[in-house]
Chains A and B, each alone.
Chain A
Amino acid sequence: MLEKALNGGKSYWLWLAGLSAVIGLAFLVYMKQWTFGLGITGMHRDFTWGFYIAQFTFLVGVAAGGVMLVLPYYLHDYKAFGRITILGEFLAIGAVTMCLLFIVADMGQPTRAMNVIINATPYSMLFWDAFVLNGYLALNLIIGWKLLEAERNGVDAPKWVKPLIYLSIPWAFGIHTVTAFLYSGLPGRGFWLTAVLAPRFLASAFAAGPSFLMLLCFLVRRFTNFDPGEKAMKTLMKIITYALIANIFFFACEIFTAYYSQIPEHMAHINYLFGLGDHGHGVLVGWMWTSMALMIGAIILLVQPKIRNNEKYMPFLCLMVFFGTWIDKGMGMMAGGFVPSPLHHYNEYVPTAPELVITVGIWCVGFAVITVLYKIAVSIKEEIKA
């Protein structure tokens, strides 16, 4: 099936060449980080996870979001998703690939990555995160490949694939729950120390993942002869709507708990993010309010069936959801956790240019992986149709 990735048109190769150029540049910048250290980033003693881990956290959500196709199709026999579950699985592969690369980019001693396996430490949440992410990657690779192969040959997939599919459903919830546990189990970090963090992560994932998938569906429809189907897309929009409402609801619960209890340690971080109080800091204030405006604005529009179901508006709505949740769960999650510091210092963080280039490079790797996988999937679907 890999041969399908090798016979594309001019625009396909141009796109991949463009991505490779950016990846190459980012790799050169990464070499600078390799030799000098993480000091080329804007991170510091009080703000130890920055733009890389922000992307990582968000993308675990995108990867988990694929389950919003798999679950209705396999557990509820929702046929409309049948044609595009493969797109969800391949998106998950691209997203997890980016996650793993962001983790490596963030490591001070990347050559020691295998220490996590050699010295496996089950009481560390990071160990479990490495385990579930790699497991999820393997599951989606095997499932996606086998299903596509079967589809191409016009036969049923081998019997052993079914249990793996069923396993991949709770596993998707697992990857994002464990990612939330990285944060929510730390004493002294008021912003993260909340039981609602994992549910909130899942809610925003099930909005962000499907909205990214929707955008990809539009691209697929535009550049190929494959149509994901109107019904599937409308259902996805409905899922995005509910998930986004749940995300905002969970956030509102956070706001209530912090401000009604009036515990300074819990209010301080939200005050910082949204520019409330008199601490005199707030590089992210504009971003945070933008995020809120995008998400709440999207909800107002999405709850109206006429707007939600109109294909003309869908891409814009999905962009709103995507960027709103990207800020919220990316930099918002990092800055809220680290500022103010446990010693109540306000030491802010702004990513540096090299950091941004490396980040864009990793995104391009993800796009390249998704492009190639989608090319294979769509070519095979076109082949069957013909």
Chain B
Amino acid sequence: MKNRREFLKTAGATAVGVSALSGSAFAIGEYFISSKETKPHAEEKTATRWGMVINTKKLNEEVIHEITTACHTKHNVPDCMTFAEPKDPKRKKHHEIKWIWEEHYHNAFAPDVVEYLSKKLEHTPFLVLCNQCQNPPCVQACPTKATFKRPDGIVLMDFHRCIGCRFCMAACPYGSRSFNFQDPRNGLPDRLPTNPAFPTRMKGVVEKCNFCAERLAIGKKPYCEEVSKGAIITGDLGDEHSEIRKLLEENNAITRKSSLGTGPSVFYLV
């Protein structure tokens, strides 16, 4: 414990020292990328609001499978169906963790669903994930600041500070958060992380999509975008000349529950 604290302290000091030259060190709890390794994405250096466009026209079962698998394996998200306890598959599902997953239009956009929807949209699979809200209700609810919003707009979690009160889960109007009802390693093969470079969580804490903050810190784009075959594009919504803003200017996009004023940063082209 002491080692880790000192390590982080040194790392923090180093980060301050060299941040003028390169990127800052990146640390969330025990997960740490030193300032030497961080080479933020050009966009990350100036980003004020990371956002995502999901082009639903390019989504199909195969792409969705690629995306969810990539995200969940790289982030050590357990497979609830492999939990030894509870025995009943329906109750195993109760302990499900998901960062990005498929939903039907009627669920993804409830309650603002449109009648007489085109056949295509009716059957289009939608991907849902944390919306990285501009005005996140989860951050407001969290009593320990374990959930917080970074200056680049990403809503992150410190798994070591979370007390597991689940107030954020009640607050999130998108159902984007999951709780570790048991040790998540129970649902990983041989109880080992599928990606040793990323931390596994412990039981009793909440988690959600982190917009691959650990990737942005080393100049890479999120995993989901990488395997999406063009269906997912991320970028800085705060920069009016960014590719993502151009995309939104030229196409019709919708967001989930925009009337709530949360300011979702995930847009859907339909």
Residues of A participating in the B interface, judged by any CB pair closer than 8 Å = 36-39, 41-46, 48-49, 103, 106-110, 112-113, 115-116, 118-119, 121, 123-127, 130, 182-183, 186-189, 264-265, 337-338, 341-345
Asked whether B110 lies within 8 Å of A344 as measured between CB atoms, the reply is yes
Q: Point out the residue from B103, B107, B144, B261 that lies within 8 Å of A116, measured CB to CB.
A: B144
Asked whether A115 lies within 8 Å of B163 as measured between CB atoms, the reply is yes
CB neighbours (8 Å) of A125 from chain B are 141, 167
B183 at interface (Cβ–Cβ under 8 A)? Answer: yes
- Expressed in whole angstroms, the Cα–Cα distance for A183 and B144 within the complex equals 18
Asked whether B143 lies within 8 Å of A45 as measured between CB atoms, the reply is no
- Expressed in whole angstroms, the Cα–Cα distance for A337 and B167 within the complex equals 13
Considering only CB atoms and an 8 Å cut-off, how many residues of chain B contact the other chain? 51
B17 at interface (Cβ–Cβ under 8 A)? Answer: no
CB neighbours (8 Å) of A182 from chain B are 167
Given contacts A124-B141, A186-B171, A342-B174, contact A39 B165 (CB under 8 A): no
List B152-179 residues whose CB lies under 8 Å from chain A. 161-167, 169-175, 178-179
> Which chain B residue lies CB-closest to A338?
B170
**What are 30 A-to-B residue pairs whose CB atoms are below 8 Å?**
A37-B182, A39-B95, A39-B181, A39-B203, A45-B175, A45-B179, A46-B175, A103-B165, A107-B163, A108-B162, A108-B163, A108-B166, A108-B179, A109-B205, A115-B144, A124-B140, A124-B142, A182-B167, A183-B170, A186-B141, A186-B173, A187-B137, A187-B173, A187-B261, A188-B173, A189-B170, A265-B111, A344-B110, A344-B111, A345-B107
Chain A nearest CB from B133 CB (Å) reads: 10
Q: Is the interface of B mostly helix, strand, loop or mixed?
A: loop
Residues of B participating in the A interface, judged by any CB pair closer than 8 Å = 85-86, 93-96, 98, 103, 106-108, 110-111, 128, 137, 140-146, 161-167, 169-175, 178-183, 202-206, 257, 260-262
Asked whether B161 lies within 8 Å of A119 as measured between CB atoms, the reply is yes
- Expressed in whole angstroms, the Cα–Cα distance for A39 and B261 within the complex equals 33
Q: Point out the residue from B128, B205, B260 that lies within 8 Å of A188, measured CB to CB.
A: B260
Given contacts A108-B180, A342-B175, A343-B107, contact A48 B143 (CB under 8 A): no
Chain B nearest CB from A137 CB (Å) reads: 18
Chain A nearest CB from B179 CB (Å) reads: 6
Asked whether B166 lies within 8 Å of A37 as measured between CB atoms, the reply is no
Asked whether B137 lies within 8 Å of A186 as measured between CB atoms, the reply is yes
Q: Point out the residue from A45, A108, A265 that lies within 8 Å of B205, measured CB to CB.
A: A108
CB neighbours (8 Å) of A103 from chain B are 165
Asked whether A108 lies within 8 Å of B203 as measured between CB atoms, the reply is yes
- Expressed in whole angstroms, the Cα–Cα distance for A234 and B179 within the complex equals 48
Asked whether B143 lies within 8 Å of A127 as measured between CB atoms, the reply is yes
Q: Point out the residue from B86, B93, B204 that lies within 8 Å of A108, measured CB to CB.
A: B204
Chain A nearest CB from B193 CB (Å) reads: 18
Asked whether B161 lies within 8 Å of A112 as measured between CB atoms, the reply is yes
> Which chain A residue lies CB-closest to B173?
A188
Asked whether B143 lies within 8 Å of A130 as measured between CB atoms, the reply is yes
Q: Point out the residue from B96, B110, B203 that lies within 8 Å of A343, measured CB to CB.
A: B110
- Expressed in whole angstroms, the Cα–Cα distance for A119 and B164 within the complex equals 15
Asked whether B164 lies within 8 Å of A108 as measured between CB atoms, the reply is yes
- Expressed in whole angstroms, the Cα–Cα distance for A337 and B171 within the complex equals 11
Pick the most buried of B161, B171, B180: most chain A CB atoms within 10 A of its CB.
B171
CB neighbours (8 Å) of B204 from chain A are 37-38, 107-109
